[in-house]
Amino acid sequence: MLDIKKLDRVLLKLSGEALAGDKKTGFDEATVLDVAGQVKALVDSGVQVAIVIGGGNFWRGRTSENMDRTKADQIGMLATVMNCIYVADMFRHTGLKTRVYTPFSCGSFTQLFDKTDAVDCLEQGYVTFFAGGTGHPYFSTDTATALRAVEIGADAILLAKAIDGVYDSDPKINPDAVKYDRISLQEVLDQKLGVIDLTATIMCLENKMPLILFGLNEDNSIVNTINGKFNGTIITVE
- Give pLDDT tens digits for 86-105: 999 999 999 999 999 999 99
45 pLDDT above the threshold of 90: yes
Q: For residues 170 and 178, is the Cβ–Cβ distance under 8 A?
A: no
Label residue 211 left, alpha or beta by phi (over 0 means left) and psi (-120 to 50 means alpha).
beta
Rounded mean pLDDT, 58-74: 83
Residue 62 banded pLDDT, cuts 50, 70, 90: low
Tens of pLDDT, residue by residue over 132-172, are 999 999 999 999 999 999 999 999 999 998 888 999 998 88
* Among the listed residues 16, 14, 12, the one whose alpha carbon sits nearest the alpha carbon of residue 56: 16
Percent above pLDDT 90 for the chain: 78
Parallel, antiparallel or unpaired: strands 97-102 and 126-130: parallel
Question: What angle do the packed helices 29-44 and 69-93 form, to 10 degrees?
Answer: 70
Which pTM was predicted? 0.94
**pLDDT value, residue 1:** 60
Residue 55 banded pLDDT, cuts 50, 70, 90: very high
User: Half-sphere exposure of 120 toward its Cβ, with a 13 Å CA cutoff?
Assistant: 5
238 pLDDT above the threshold of 80: no
Question: What angle do the packed helices 141-152 and 115-123 form, to 10 degrees?
Answer: 70
